Amino acid sequence: MLLEEPITFPSVENEEEEEQQYSFAVEYTGPPVPYDLPRAVPINVEKIPVAAVVSKVPLSNTELHIPVVPPILAPDRNQFSKELLLQPTVSPTSVIAFEERVSEDTNNCMLSGELSSYESGELAELTNNGSSRRLGVCSVSNENSSAIDYCDSFDKSRESSSRARVSNDGDLNQPDWGSNESVLSLDYPSSRVSSLKPGDCNNESNGDVRRPQVVTFRDIELDDVLDEEFSQDEVQPQVVRVKREPQTKGKKGSCYRCFKGNRFTEKEVCIVCDAKYCSNCVLRAMGSMPEGRKCVTCIGFRIDEAKRGSLGKCSRMLKRLLNDLEVRQIMKAEKLCEANQLPPEYICVNGQPLCHEQLAILQSCPNPPKKLKPGNYWYDKVSGLWGKEGQKPSKIISPHLNVGGSIRPDASNGNTQVFINGREITKVELRMLQLAGVQVAGNPHFWVNEDGSYQEEGQKNTRGYIWGKAGTKLVCAVLSLPVPSKSSNTCGEPLSSMSSRSVPDYLEQRTLHKILLVGSTGSGSSTIFKQAKILYKDVPFSEEERENIKLTIQTNVYGYLGILLEGRERFEEESLAEMRKRKCSKDTDAEAGSTDDSDGKTIYSIGPRLKAFSEWLLKTMVSGNLEGIFAAATREYAPLVEELWKDAAIRATYDRRNELEMLPSVASYYLERAVEILSTNYEPSDLDILYAEGLTSSNGLAYVDFSFPKSSSDENIDTADQHDSLLRYQLIRVQARGLGENCKWLEMFEDVGMVIFCVALSDYDQLSADGTNKMLLSRKIFESIVSHPTFDQMDFLLILNKFDLFEEKLERLPLTRCEWFDDFHPLVSHHRTNTNSNSINHNPSLGQLAFHYIAVKFKRLYSALTGRKLYVSLVKGLEPNSIDTALKYAREILKWDEERANFSLSEHSFYSTEVSSFSH
Amino acid sequence: MSAAELKERHAAATVTVDNLRERLRQRRHQLLDTDVAGYARSQGRSPVTFGPTDLVCCRTLQGHTGKVYSLDWTPERNRVVSASQDGRLIVWNALTSQKTHAIKLPCAWVMTCAFSPMGQSVACGGLDSMCSIFNLNSPTDRDGNLPVSKTLSGHKGYVSCCQYVPDEDIHIITSSGDQTCVLWDITTGLRTSVFGGEFQSGHTADVLSVSINGSSSRMFVSGSCDATARLWDTRVASRAVRTFHGHEGDVNTVKFFPDGNRFGTGSDDGTCRLFDIRTGHQLQVYYQQHCDNEVPHVTSIAFSISGRLLFAGYSNGDCYVWDTLLGKVVLNLGSLQNSHEGRVSCLGLSADGSALCTGSWDTNLKIWAFGGHRKVI
């Protein structure tokens, strides 16, 4: 049975707020009501969470829009309340609808009036004056009411939401073992969530019910909260948070846990809820203090802003209880953990709340504002002047920080009609300017730079320096105006290079996008990694790395030489055998064999000294400790190498290098310059490093942190893109070894944003050591990684690498050499005679066709395995631009992925089409 | 000798070895007339029972922000080191549940950590293929980080497990994804011996775990992805003393029995097994049938001081306490109040056996101890 009227509560009487009334609307299914009021859990009034307003949130500029209540006709409350219960993310409009319905149901039109009285200013006052009037989302529950999911909006922390969601009766009394008693009260959702005053409720439980019911909503906050949930954005709007109250409170002055002691016993205070614990209880109540001195139940909550000053300063009691190291760790955690940081949206600069990155910029600049408290500030980006909204400047901070909006003329509420950098200055400043000898007659508009030089608007020449006179600073001190700090002048280039600045730990984790780069051996994933390093790092390789690289390259070159020498021996034997055969035939033919070449000399023969060297080299290669000896050998054998390289036999062998299968294609790049490379003072160039094999393969894992440099085209798109240059990416390359199906460590990479899988196109005819086709091997690894449970729902970007080699090879060997590609029958155009001139669109080359064919093969495989879409990019590993393009493509995918979460409800289709058109 | 001929002979030899192995298995099977549990039952032994407060979670060590992968106790004092995916090692005081050190690692992908016998330094290893040693007494650098005091590099695959050789701070044994175990001299930073690898008697897949015999520290066992455990003598690196077959999945963890004559294993096949190093026999299989077909992997095991109890962590968040004698589960820590919410990835018993520490993917560590009348804190 469904009652049309909501269960009503007698409204709450308050000393100050007589008119403040509460009610709630809920589905009622019980028997007809004889107006027995539901009993609320008796709870002390003091314990009820109070909605705390951010101390000085700017309300002057926020656009509070008061919801208009249009009449609505279908009060389908049943359906609605379900909706409300099931979906914590109701759209803002539906909330308004809710209000309407309720107001109509209750036949009371006080709502609109009530709402309109909620001016923003009042909001702040109401909560500030400490009255027990509750603001907040008025979701009221009686004791059998089902879940009210709005608790989300109060506290975002995972702990509370996981606990507080439980709100059925049965769970109320569930004990929370082992930790401590104070947890218990957390389980009373009504006490925490509802804005109803249970105490009052209790008092009046037998009272009359004639009072009209009013549902009041804090519309703006609700909107914000919903928006926030809706967008799942990191940046939280100015939500007025419920101040956490300690769950239990004994008599005044006693410990909150054991209720013993008095005012004079030493106690430690929770920085969130102000609970005080004696020395016996503090460790039980606060546990291991991962975020500093907080009750176990308060972990994850924001701290009481009033206690921000005491962060990192612990009481003597704690020092006595714990040893130095422990205290230090706690204080460090307290100061540095994410939950305790100043929420950036509490700080408004030039009327715009900050985001995390901006706050980080502000705090990490060389000359930061001191003791930043929540509030409204103005900031003059040109001169670095900084002050509270509506007040004179209080400090000169580092200029040119990209924080907040643009400065407004009335930022400091001046009325002098003299402007500095577009801000009307205050009288005190004007006075200072006059004393500093600046001509201020005629209400001039000045540009003041950070060094104090000023000029009039629209004029080029500098008129002078404000701080030039010695007396100016004294005047400033008298007028309590800021003067530039010394350090601000010394830092020449303030903040143009964002990438180099240090980011706090907690931010680092958040802003870092991890990209995993994998590929089978020889797929060129290490080349891509090195390219990324060269592309995006100012110093791609450190001295130490270069030294190692040099050694590796030199070892490799010795290896190539060894292969050459081996080839030489073979060629020598072959030609000797041939000679002998020829001689034999000559002997039998003519019997008069000349003995002039019988000493076995061919063009492949070398002198004894070189022979000894070659034998030694081959021997060490066989024994496998090539790396071990070459540091010393380089010096000793460098001249010998030169001699060897000049030897005709080697040159002859080198000319036949195509017949040496062991010799990798890059070998000729190094061998051409063997003498130079093997000298002791060789410095590998970036290109040398790029070509070098096996640089990162010895160690399983390599990673590089980078951010994409701002390109000129990016700059003028919009301001949102400015954050892009702040986003940091981490490219992690792991070796393919052991990427089997049962790979244990792949689950460590579950936090990566996407996986780049690298395949060498030119592998299609190559065989691996055990005789299987390398392309098929890549496919196998690809399959096992893609279907790995860790990478469920992960985006994959397939990089088809070595396109240059591939094109070249395709001319000689058909793609069908690989059995996977046996149905590749390209439609070769008849007009392909002039391959160089025609455009790709009309007449794709064979390589392009084959690439698309292979890409489709992989895409089909991928969608068969996962049912999703594979992104593919074509890359020439040795060309920086193509790597850059591929990695930027990866960035787009990541970005899109983030946005998809925001738009999953409404614009999904739009986005998916866009991306599919973007991909190849 | 041509390549074809070689191949042929190799194939023939493989067949012979397989035959011999099969015969060995059959013979073992023949000789093994009972297991521990069967014998104990026949002797009329009754299983251990647990009261409701006999093992309770008395501390929760919060502080990691990533999955906890490994933990280790100090031998003498109540300290624990834990390694987590957030790239940190944290040294805890298990009594006060406070951190004493938080070490930010140069390579965040850490898989294992160990406390030195003297409690002066900790070691860790991971995907960077190196084992890094941190001296806890060394001064911190400008950012408050503890510098690496030694890196042991030489492995060609990830370092999956490391354990100090008891009673000396200078030797450590690591296992690695390159199929080898290595005994290191920490003072020189060089490999003393390499176990496995090129030799036929070594593991044929990634080695995941090592455990050093507590009573004679020259013996150690290793467990591997090739589903075997091998016993090694540190003086004879060339070949494994014995290979223990039986598991049907990767052996994730090995742990010596307190008496040093047996060791336990835990595997992806969901079983724990007890092997005898003298006879080479498998003494007992510990396996709990699950109602659904999902078989949780055993991630980590530990024995109580007496050896009567075997603690085993599972990938589904369970943590069973087995009665080793009767092969029965006597308690599931995962079903208790305050248990972990994620996979139990590692566990360890304190040196005096009074407390069990479990680490989980839910980023927390928990200390379990007797919860009776003893006053805690």
* pLDDT exceeds cutoff 80 at B355: yes
Poorest-pLDDT segment among A375-389, A850-864, B172-186: A375-389
H/E stretch holding B311 reads strand B309-314
**Which residue spans within A245-392 are E strands per DSSP?**
267-269, 276-278, 347-349, 352-353, 375-379, 385-388
pLDDT at residue A169 in the model: 38
Question: Cβ contacts of residue B86 below 8 Å, gap of 6+?
Answer: A509, B64, B65, B66, B108, B363
Helix (H, G, I), strand (E, B) or coil at A736: coil
The whole-angstrom distance between A624's CA and the closest CA on chain B is: 13
* Closest of B307, B126, B305, B284 to residue A744, by C-alpha: B126
Residues B23, B18: Cα–Cα separation, whole Å: 9
H/E stretch holding B302 reads strand B298-303
**Scanning the structure block, which residue is given the tokens 């969901």?**
B270
The whole-angstrom distance between B128's CA and the closest CA on chain A is: 5
Give the percent of chain A with pLDDT over 90: 2
Q: Strand B319-323 relative to strand B328-332: parallel, antiparallel, unpaired?
A: antiparallel
pLDDT at residue A244 in the model: 67
- Yes or no, beta carbons of A700 and B127 under 8 Å apart: yes
Task: Report ipTM for this prediction.
Answer: 0.85
Q: Tell me which amino acid residue B341 is.
A: E
- Angle, in degrees to the nearest 10, between helices A543-590 and A608-623: 120
- Greater confidence, A435 or B363? B363
Residues B316, B145: Cα–Cα separation, whole Å: 35
Other CB atoms within 10 Å distance of the CB of residue A408: 15
Q: Which residues of B touch A284 (CB under 8 A)?
A: 377
- Greater confidence, A774 or A492? A774
* pLDDT exceeds cutoff 60 at A333: yes
* pLDDT exceeds cutoff 70 at B25: yes
- Greater confidence, A599 or A286? A286
pLDDT at residue B149 in the model: 92
A227 band by pLDDT with thresholds 50, 70 and 90: very low
Q: Which two tokens stand for residue A533?
A: 């390093």
Mean pLDDT of B103-116: 92
Cα A333 to the chain's mean position, in Å?
A: 21
Residues A292, A576: Cα–Cα separation, whole Å: 82
Express each pLDDT in B240-260 by its tens digit: 899 999 999 999 999 999 999
- Greater confidence, A167 or A580? A580
SS (H, E, C) A689-720: HHHCCCCCCCCCEEEEEECCCCCHHHHCCCHH
Residues A822, A842: Cα–Cα separation, whole Å: 25
A453 band by pLDDT with thresholds 50, 70 and 90: confident
* pLDDT exceeds cutoff 80 at A502: no
Q: Write out the DSSP string of A546-602.
A: HHHHHHHHHHHHHHHHHHHHHHHHHHHHHHHHHHHHHHHHHHHHHS----TTTT---
Select the residue of B60, B107, B206 nearest A288 (Cβ to Cβ).
Answer: B60
- Interface residue of B53, B54, B158 to substitute, partner A, most A CBs within 10 Å: B158
Question: Cβ contacts of residue A313 below 8 Å, gap of 6+?
Answer: A331
Interface of B with A in 160-199 (CB under 8 A): 160, 177
pLDDT at residue A843 in the model: 64
- On whether any CB of chain B is under 8 Å from the CB of A738, the answer is yes
* pLDDT exceeds cutoff 50 at A104: no
Cα A98 to the chain's mean position, in Å?
A: 37
- On whether any CB of chain B is under 8 Å from the CB of A641, the answer is no
Residues A51, A59: Cα–Cα separation, whole Å: 16
Select the residue of A322, A698, A734 nearest B96 (Cβ to Cβ).
Answer: A322
Residues A349, A359: Cα–Cα separation, whole Å: 10
Express each pLDDT in B142-181 by its tens digit: 777 889 999 998 888 889 999 999 988 899 999 998 889 9
Poorest-pLDDT segment among A99-108, A184-193, A731-740, A845-854: A184-193
Q: Which two tokens stand for residue A637?
A: 């054998």
pLDDT at residue A214 in the model: 41
* pLDDT exceeds cutoff 90 at A154: no
pLDDT at residue A624 in the model: 60
Burial B153-191 (b: 16+ CB within 10 A, else e): ebbbbbbbbbbbbeeebebbbbbbbbbbbbbbebeeeeb
Residues B283, B39: Cα–Cα separation, whole Å: 11
**Scanning the structure block, which residue is given the tokens 């350090």?**
A487
Give CA angle at B44 (B38, B45), nearest 5°: 80
- On whether any CB of chain B is under 8 Å from the CB of A324, the answer is no
Overall size of chain A counted in residues = 920
Helix (H, G, I), strand (E, B) or coil at A427: helix
- On whether any CB of chain B is under 8 Å from the CB of A401, the answer is no
* pLDDT exceeds cutoff 60 at A223: no
* Closest of A796, A773, A767, A803 to residue A865, by C-alpha: A796
Residues B334, A139: Cα–Cα separation, whole Å: 36
Give the mean pLDDT of chain A. 67
Cα B288 to the chain's mean position, in Å?
A: 20
Poorest-pLDDT segment among A176-185, A616-625, A794-803, A866-875: A176-185
Express each pLDDT in A60-93 by its tens digit: 444 455 555 555 444 444 444 444 444 444 333 3
- Angle, in degrees to the nearest 10, between helices A803-812 and A846-866: 110
- Interface residue of A176, A299, A329, A734 to substitute, partner B, most B CBs within 10 Å: A329
- On whether any CB of chain B is under 8 Å from the CB of A737, the answer is yes
Q: Are A645 and A654 in contact (CB under 8 A)?
A: no
pLDDT at residue A736 in the model: 66
Q: Which two tokens stand for residue A872?
A: 């593919």
Q: Which two tokens stand for residue A768?
A: 């691996």
pLDDT at residue B79 in the model: 92
| DSSP assigned state of A82 | H
Top-confidence range, A554-558, A608-612, A804-808, B297-301? B297-301
* Closest of A126, A136, A142 to residue A25, by C-alpha: A142
**Which residue spans within B333-364 are E strands per DSSP?**
344-349, 355-360
* pLDDT exceeds cutoff 70 at A249: no
pLDDT at residue B115 in the model: 94
pLDDT at residue A240 in the model: 44
**Scanning the structure block, which residue is given the tokens 């309340």?**
A81
Poorest-pLDDT segment among A638-642, A684-688, A821-825, A916-920: A916-920
Express each pLDDT in A5-34 by its tens digit: 444 444 444 444 444 455 455 566 666 655
* pLDDT exceeds cutoff 50 at B377: no
At B345, give phi and psi (nearest 5°).
-95, -25
Q: Are A28 and A2 in contact (CB under 8 A)?
A: yes
The whole-angstrom distance between B55's CA and the closest CA on chain A is: 11
Top-confidence range, A630-639, B199-208, B247-256? B247-256
- Yes or no, beta carbons of B157 and A290 under 8 Å apart: no
Express each pLDDT in A868-915 by its tens digit: 889 999 888 888 888 889 988 988 888 887 777 665 544 444 444 344
B84 band by pLDDT with thresholds 50, 70 and 90: very high
Question: Cβ contacts of residue A714 below 8 Å, gap of 6+?
Answer: A721, A724, A725
Residues A766, A522: Cα–Cα separation, whole Å: 10
Interface of A with B in 255-284 (CB under 8 A): 280, 283-284
Q: Which residues of A touch B58 (CB under 8 A)?
A: 178
Select the residue of B59, B127, B225 nearest A742 (Cβ to Cβ).
Answer: B225
Give the percent of chain A with pLDDT over 70: 58
* pLDDT exceeds cutoff 60 at A241: no
* pLDDT exceeds cutoff 60 at A351: yes
Q: Which two tokens stand for residue A380?
A: 């003059």
Give the mean pLDDT of chain B. 89
Residues B252, A137: Cα–Cα separation, whole Å: 51
* pLDDT exceeds cutoff 90 at A720: no
At A132, give phi and psi (nearest 5°).
-85, 15
Tell the burial category of B237 from Cβ atoms under 10 Å away from its Cβ (0-12, 13-18, 19+).
buried
Cα A519 to the chain's mean position, in Å?
A: 24
pLDDT at residue B124 in the model: 95
Other CB atoms within 10 Å distance of the CB of residue B138: 13
- List the strands of the sheet with B298-303, edge to edge: B298-303, B309-314, B319-323, B328-332
The whole-angstrom distance between B367's CA and the closest CA on chain A is: 11
- Measured between alpha carbons, how far is residue B35 from residues A337, A423, A822, B46, B156 in Å? 53, 88, 56, 16, 40
The whole-angstrom distance between A176's CA and the closest CA on chain B is: 8
Q: Strand A445-448 relative to strand A871-874: parallel, antiparallel, unpaired?
A: unpaired
- On whether any CB of chain B is under 8 Å from the CB of A298, the answer is no
Q: Which two tokens stand for residue A633?
A: 């050998």
Residues A817, B346: Cα–Cα separation, whole Å: 49
Give CA angle at B204 (B199, B208), nearest 5°: 115
pLDDT at residue A840 in the model: 47
Q: How large is the C-alpha radius of gyration of chain A? A: 38
B223 band by pLDDT with thresholds 50, 70 and 90: very high
Q: Outline where A108-188 has alpha helix (H).
A: 110-116, 120-128, 151-154, 158-164, 169-172
pLDDT at residue A140 in the model: 38
Q: Are A806 and A875 in contact (CB under 8 A)?
A: no
- On whether any CB of chain B is under 8 Å from the CB of A326, the answer is yes
